[in-house]
Chains A and B, each alone.
Chain A
Amino acid sequence: MSEPLLEITGLTRRYRLPGGSSLLAVDNVSFTLARGEVLGLVGESGSGKSTLGRMVLGLEEKSAGEVRFRGETLPRRYRRADFQRYARSMQMVFQDPYATLNPRLTIGESLAEPLRLQGWRGDPAPRVREWLERVGLAASMAGRYPHEFSGGQRQRIGIARALITEPEMLVCDEPTSALDVSVQAQVINLLADLRREMGLAMLFIAHDLAVVRYLADRVAVMKSGQLLEVAPTEQLFTAPSHPFTRHLLAVRPRPEPGRRRTD
């Protein structure tokens, strides 16, 4: 089948500003995502990459353009029932999982929530335990509360919560940028493993180019709401075609101390 999992055409988000002017946060963006593919979405803050991810999930209204998922056009503006309907197949992993977990629910309760919303019948406990283990946590941790976990563990919980309904696509918005480098490596390895096991497609939003290079099949570069370039990862890093991509690659700090004296 050559039909893409996700097909975005002319997607636009316009915010009206006081005084009658408007801001184009996302400006006429088009691309596709194949089943099981990881597309890295990079750009600086304010480039529109997060807004784009949120529009795909219906968390943000679409001003113009179209998002097709498995051939079906998604609503411009989600109603309650739409979230229920589509959340089963597309989920999000956030930068700060702590902000997305209810502090008064145990981890087990938080993980059971998406199942319940999907009309899961029966005891969610076995599935919750299974997913805690799949993300590298002990099943016995289900009774604990969010504050008892470290940043890396919370991100594992965030990933388990996103994947427990076994979606086909994940939107990850800076999932590792709040983590320390050794923990970041663990979380990226986990995402890579789950992707392989589940044939998961990912829209991977990040500003860290090294992380994107490791994980993504293709990379899209955004600036001021526009998509400047989409290319296979190695091509983008070795032969970027847009001047802004070349600039991003040239200026990024790199963990190579010898380099700065030669430039």
Chain B
Amino acid sequence: MSLHEPLLSIEALHVHIRTAAGIVQPVRGIDLQLEAGETLAIVGESGCGKSMTALAVMGLLPVGGSVAAGAVRLSGYRLDNLTESGWREVRGRRIGMVFQNPMSAFNPTMRIGEQIAESLVHHRHLDWDHAHRRAVALLDRMRIPDAATRAQQYPFQFSGGMLQRAMIAMALACGPELLIADEPTTALDVSVQVGLLELLRELQTETGLAILLITHDLAIVAEIAQRVAVMYAGQIVEQAPVDALFAQPAHPYTAGLLQSLPERHEGAGPLSAIAGTPPDLLQPPAGCAFYDRCPAALRLCATAAVPRVEISATQRALCWLRHPAVVGSGAVPPLAEQQGSES
């Protein structure tokens, strides 16, 4: 037993999904820790395994999906082998969830206030009257105007941004320690996005809530995350504090992502893009999954198991190019030069 248990600990997690074509491996051995009060963003492109990681943490893997190896712990309490009834005590109560499409999180035939109250009755054993008053207070806290009237309305009567805030109210109703938010702002207008992010920050300061944010949007990451894990082809290829990640990316994939942002474009030429496509996770490659697309790949990257290199106390990368033996050999130019010619 270690002295300190992180709030959330993911250890060597592997997720398999059985499909007609074979076993897909969307998550291939990831390690993550999240402390109370912290916001960690998992960022990556479609199919990289970020949502499957979130679903595994919530015990909501799709049919055919399973945790093939590794462990997920909440304050030391093992989650990955819970029964469905065990999960029901964790989900909603200790872990709140927010998804991209709030419409799918609400029952369309039930009033908003009633749906929020329901979880309080179930998890906190409040009577309905009391639970209703709490629901209205929560909606009010989420800056939903005229919350008492709104609580009596149905989901279709809410705008997208307001429904998203109602979903957060529902997720936080029972005072969870961890909020998992999967693309929570993607469907929203910019000004609504910003309001929602500010609200999350405030709640975090007040309650010490930890947030696991799943997103592909680097601007949202920059706005709210303290630490970032970059996923590619089922692995965390880089993990760093947000400032270090944006200022000095250690993995060529992170660097490529940042360079393809139109905001970072200078001059008149084409935008920088990452050529190629990610590997097929039915048959993950033996060496580096980014090998085919990497502008600086060495021959050993194709076949040798990739080392996890500590760049600093808080930043690490899954990359041969940063390995002391390779860096010492002088075979690798600095990352900035490698990226310069790529388009």
Contacts and interface: CB of A to CB of B under 8 A. Distances in A.
B220 interface: yes
12 contacts: A181-B261, A182-B273, A185-B262, A185-B274, A193-B270, A247-B191, A255-B221, A255-B263, A257-B222, A257-B223, A257-B242, A257-B243
Majority SS at the chain A contact face? helix
Interface residues of A, number: 33
Interface of B: 45-46, 160, 189-191, 193-194, 197, 216-223, 225, 242-243, 245-246, 256-258, 260-265, 270-274, 277, 343
A180 B225 CA distance: 19
A185 B272 CA distance: 7
Given A45-B160, A210-B262, 7 more contacts: A180-B45, A183-B273, A251-B190, A253-B220, A254-B219, A255-B218, A256-B246
Interface string A185-211: 110110011000000000000011011
A197 to B, nearest CB: 13
B189 A44 contact: yes
A251 B264 CA distance: 18
Contacts of B217: 253
A79 interface: no
A248 interface: yes
Nearest to B274: A182
A207 B186 CA distance: 12
A255 B259 CA distance: 11
Given A181-B218, A184-B260, A188-B262, A248 B273 contact: no
Given A188-B271, A253-B220, A254-B222, A248 B257 contact: no
B189 A207 contact: yes
A255 B261 contact: yes
Contacts of B222: 253-257, 259-260
Looking at chain B's contact residues, the main secondary structure is helix
Given A186-B273, A214-B265, A251 B45 contact: no
A211 B217 CA distance: 14
Interface in A70-97: none
B22 to A, nearest CB: 17
Contacts of A210: 261-263
A254 B263 contact: yes
A235 interface: no
A257 B222 CA distance: 4
The 10 lowest CB-CB distance pairs between A and B, nearest first, are A180-B45, A185-B273, A253-B219, A185-B260, A210-B262, A44-B189, A185-B271, A182-B274, A257-B222, A255-B218
Contacts of B189: 44-45, 207
Nearest to B48: A180
A182 B295 CA distance: 14
A255 B41 CA distance: 13
A16 interface: no
A188 B193 CA distance: 24
A48 interface: no
A148 to B, nearest CB: 13
Interface string A240-261: 0000000110011111111110
